[in-house]
Amino acid sequence: GVGRKEVNVLVVGLNNSGKSTVVNNFKSDDDKVTDIVPTVGFSVERFQKQNLAFTAFDMSGHGRYRDLWEHYYKDCHGIIFVIDSSDRLRLVVVKEELDLLLQHPDICQKKIPILFFANKMDCKEALSSVKIAAALGLDKIMDKPWHISASNALTGEGLQEGVEWLTQQIR
């Protein structure tokens, strides 16, 4: 389990989905935070919580920075995929990015767990986690454990339950 040396968790999703807000919820004041900006327009947020190393970045920029973010796939042990469940227009873009992630050579062979946050559940126009799961075709993911939790990253609702599931899955 999480008793091992270091566990790398990637936090991914489109811009504005709530990744920074989710990640900030996990942080406590004494957690080490490093913000790395390898190039203009692509920023990576990293922080360490005990033996969990979180790395967060946007899957956006029209794929211009794809090589930069895919570089993090190699050493990852778990993925948190954050979705703005009120952004119905971009759900198709979310599905495209998810499919690319699942097909990536550094991901497709591994049985790494994927936790989905159907975030912004508090928004009036938010789709339920069941509808998000259906729109993204999550039932087709057979070779990896996955879980979807509705969340409100502003209040923290749903986050703890999700992360507990994820850390239990990481072996």
Q: Which is nearer to ligand GDP, 2 or 86 (CB)?
A: 86
Cβ of residue 157: shortest distance to ligand GDP, in angstroms? 8
- Name which of 124, 103, 117 is nearest 161 in CA terms: 117
- Give the C-alpha separation, 68 to 43, whole Å: 10
Cβ of residue 171: shortest distance to ligand GDP, in angstroms? 28
Q: Which is nearer to ligand GDP, 77 or 120 (CB)?
A: 120
Q: Which is nearer to ligand GDP, 88 or 110 (CB)?
A: 88
The footprint of ligand GDP on residues 90-149 (CB under 6 A) is 119-120, 122-123
Cβ of residue 16: shortest distance to ligand GDP, in angstroms? 5
Q: Pick from 154, 160, 164, 168 the residue near ligand GDP by CB under 6 A.
A: 154
Instruction: Find the DSSP H helices in the chain.
Output: 19-26, 66-70, 91-103, 105-108, 129-136, 159-169
The footprint of ligand GDP on residues 39-58 (CB under 6 A) is 58
Structure tokens at 117: 């946050």
Residues near 77 by beta carbon (within 8 Å), at least 6 away in sequence: 7, 8, 9, 112, 170
- Give the C-alpha separation, 67 to 143, whole Å: 24
Please answer whether residues 138 and 146 qualify as being in contact, where contact means their C-beta atoms are separated by less than 8 angstroms. Answer: yes
Annotate each residue in 15-44 with x if it binds ligand GDP (CB under 6 A) or - if it does not, as one string: xxxxxxx-----------------------
- Name which of 26, 75, 69 is nearest 48 in CA terms: 26
- Residue 153 near ligand GDP by CB under 6 A: yes
Q: Which is nearer to ligand GDP, 78 or 158 (CB)?
A: 158
Q: Which residues would be at the binding site for ligand GDP (CB under 6 A)?
A: 13, 15-21, 58, 119-120, 122-123, 152-154
